Amino acid sequence: MTALSDVSTHAMASARWRIGEVAFWILALACAFLFPSRYLIMTDIVRLGLFALSLDLILGYAGIVSLGHAAFFGVGAYAAGLLALHGIINEPVIALVAAGLVAAALGFVTSFLVIRGVDLTRLMVTLGIALLLEALAERFSDITGGTDGLQGIEMQPILGLFAFDMFGKTGFFYSLIVLFILFLLARRVVHSPFGLSLRAIRNNPLRAAAIGVPVNRRLIAVYTLAAFYAGIAGALFTQTTALASLDVFAFERSADLMLVLVIGGTGYLYGGLIGAVVFKMLQELFQSITPQYWLFWIGLVLVVIVMVGRARIHRWVLFVPNLIIRQFAGRKAVVAVPESEAS
């Protein structure tokens, strides 16, 4: 009995909102007013952050390495595009949820394939599913528009009140609010007993099964949830840019996403969001230096991160923020490197 209450107090304590977290969201909101001319790229960052959050749910919390997460992004993007194009659901918020549900349905179906086998099989199956969908989208070009993508998507005002403007202001606030709501949900999920059991599975599936965690059912559930998140991110992409083309399924998108998560760190929810900011800034920087060959530098960053060691880099990155927090709050680091990295 005491052990149980220990676990619950510990879980409750770790689920409490910290000053750093509040500051993070205030900062995110402040960006909207500080850089009014950069709405488009900030929307990009928010979207990428949501997408990375989705991968973090399965990679950082459940330990599933996926090379084809773009599959769900793409399905969400096309679903939102088709819904808007054919006027089936005109209201963006409902369309967003609908697109997320379509992606979640796909995630649920494919999760049965993914939970089988070891890392390598999972890599191959996830990659295969993304490639399969890309091939399908190319094949049924009368529906998807083929390589040209979906043309002529017109978005209706959000909730019938806020029209999308050409500077992307509405789009940015819309994306930020969606991200915040989904973040709250994810935060609730990972701090729940369900989230704790996921971490148990990540650290040792056999042991988790031995103490009575239904491993496969938990994995299916979180995979479906992550697919829902990725679908929403894809739908946001279509809704804010009014286009959807074949490259939503591209392997590069899945690979970039891994980089985002690796920069920010896996296994804590802010990793994806911080990673998205850093990744986009790096990308901007490299693209301004060498417009054509920025891929080289992105690759170099990946290699260096792995060679130096992910855990070590996160300690360096978090050193300054933690120092500041310690000074002001006078207690231990708020954002710590998760005790055990996914392996």
Partner 1 sequence: MASILTNLFDGVAYGMLLFVLACGLAVTLGLMNFVNLAHGAFAMAGGYICAVLVNNSGWPFFAALPLAFVGSALIGIALERTLYRHLYSRSHLDQVLFSIGLVFMSVAAVDYIMGSSRVFIKLPAALEGQIDLFGVGIGRYRLMIVVICGLLTLGLQLILAKTRFGSRLRAAVDDPRAAIGLGINVPQVFAFTFAFGCGLAGLGGALSAEILGLDPYFPLKFMIYFLIVVTVGGSSSITGPFLASLLLGIADVAGKYYVPKVGPFVIYTVMIVILLWRPNGLFGRTAAR
Binding positions for partner 1, rule: CB under 8 A: 59, 65, 67, 113, 116-121, 123-125, 127-129, 131-132, 135-136, 139, 251-252, 255, 258-259, 262, 292-303, 305-307, 310, 341-343
- Round to whole Å and give the CA distance between 328 and 19: 10
Please report how close the Cβ of residue 138 comes to partner 1 at its closest, in angstroms. 8
Task: Check if the beta carbon of residue 215 is closer than 8 Å to that of residue 205.
Answer: yes
Residue 156 or 203 with smaller CB distance to partner 1: 203
Residue with smaller CB distance to partner 1, 112 or 167: 112
The least CB distance from residue 143 to partner 1, in Å, is 14
Closest approach, Cβ 183 to partner 1, in A, equals 23
Q: Quick one: 148 or 252, whose CB is closer to partner 1?
A: 252
Q: How far is CA 185 from CA 30, 47, 178, 195, 229, in A?
A: 22, 16, 11, 12, 10
- Asked if residues 271 and 56 have their Cβ atoms less than 8 Å apart, the reply is yes
In the bound state with partner 1, the residue whose beta carbon lies nearer, of 21 and 341, is 341
256 three-class SS: helix
Q: How far is CA 67 from CA 222, 248, 257, 278, in A?
A: 17, 14, 9, 21
Q: Which is nearer to partner 1, 118 or 320 (CB)?
A: 118
Q: How far is the CB of 47 from partner 1 (least distance, A)?
A: 21
Per-residue HEC secondary structure of 89-156 comes to: CCCHHHHHHHHHHHHHHHHHHHHHHHCCCCHHHHHHHHHHHHHHHHHHHHHCHHHHCHHHCECCCCCC
Classify 162 as helix, strand or coil: strand
**265 φψ region: left (φ > 0), alpha (ψ -120 to 50), beta (else):** left
Residue 119 burial (C-beta neighbours within 10 Å; 0-12, 13-18, 19+): exposed
**In the bound complex, what is the minimum distance in angstroms from residue 145's beta carbon to partner 1?**
16
For partner 1, the closer of residues 163 and 300 by Cβ is 300
Q: How far is the CB of 260 from partner 1 (least distance, A)?
A: 11
CA proximity to 45, closest of 334, 296, 275, 322: 275
Q: In angstroms, what is the minimal distance from the CB of 225 to partner 1?
A: 20
CB 179 within 8 A of CB 247: no
Amino acid occupying residue 244: A
Query: Residue 11 or 342: which CB sits closer to partner 1?
Result: 342
Q: Whole-number minimum distance, CB 304 to partner 1, in Å? A: 8
Nearer to partner 1, 92 or 271 (CB): 271
